[in-house]
Amino acid sequence: MFRSPKTEWDVSKDLSKRIIDPWTVAQQQQHLSGEIALSSLPRLLTQLEQPQGQVCIDWQFQIITHRAVIVGHIDVQLILQCQRCLQPLSWSTRLNTALCPLKPGQTEQNLPAGFESISLSAERILLSDLVEDEVLLAVPFAPFHEQCPAHDYAADNRVEDNDVSTMEAQHHPFQALAALKQHTNDKKPS
Ligand SMILES: [Zn+2]
């Protein structure tokens, strides 16, 4: 049986707890690709309808014009809550990354063209913090379905109600008759 050569994605790396020094990682030109569990993104979690899942990152760290930069993308698939019908709403996107992390005290001067700066509070950081910042910027503030399923749902309920009343109408006469008989028996003088 033919099998395609293994890629990095065959064994998805869990990067949820990875701590990095972006400048060292950039000097080493590291390529970080793998998954970060949604459960390790607490600020994002508060905006989610369902906490299960992960985001996938494919980030290349490198040095451009003496700056550490990150290029690549983040694949996101989240379950949000529709703000119109309050039902779950699946939202997915690919976010392109072109980031220039700034060390504490470093300024935005001479930023490489096309890169967005991000100020970091420490030299060693949780990779997930960096990813969470990027995802939070992209998540829609008040998401809603293009066409809410609520209307279909309400219509289905009405049909079901009708079915139930039809069934009741069919079965009720016998039950009513039985009850009436019982009632009559009770009332019979002994
Ligand atoms: Zn909706």
Question: What is the predicted pLDDT for the residue at 144?
Answer: 94
CA of 127 to the centre of ligand 1 (A): 33
CA of 140 to the centre of ligand 1 (A): 14
pLDDT in tens, 108-145: 888 999 999 999 889 899 999 999 999 999 999 899 99
Residue 154 has pLDDT above 70, yes or no: no
CA of 104 to the centre of ligand 1 (A): 43
Domain residue spans in the chain? 8-138, 149-190
Gap between the Cα atoms of 68 and 17, Å rounded = 21
- The pTM score is 0.72
**Radius of gyration of the CA atoms of the chain, in A:** 29
CA of 160 to the centre of ligand 1 (A): 21
CB–CB of 66/106 below 8 Å?
no
Burial class (CB in 10 A: 0-12, 13-18, 19+), 92: exposed
Burial class (CB in 10 A: 0-12, 13-18, 19+), 3: exposed
Residue 95 has pLDDT above 80, yes or no: yes
| Token digits of residue 144 | 């809603």
pLDDT band at 43 (very low <50, low <70, confident <90, very high): very high
Gap between the Cα atoms of 40 and 138, Å rounded = 18
Alpha helix (H) ranges present in the chain?
A: 22-27, 42-45, 127-138, 150-187
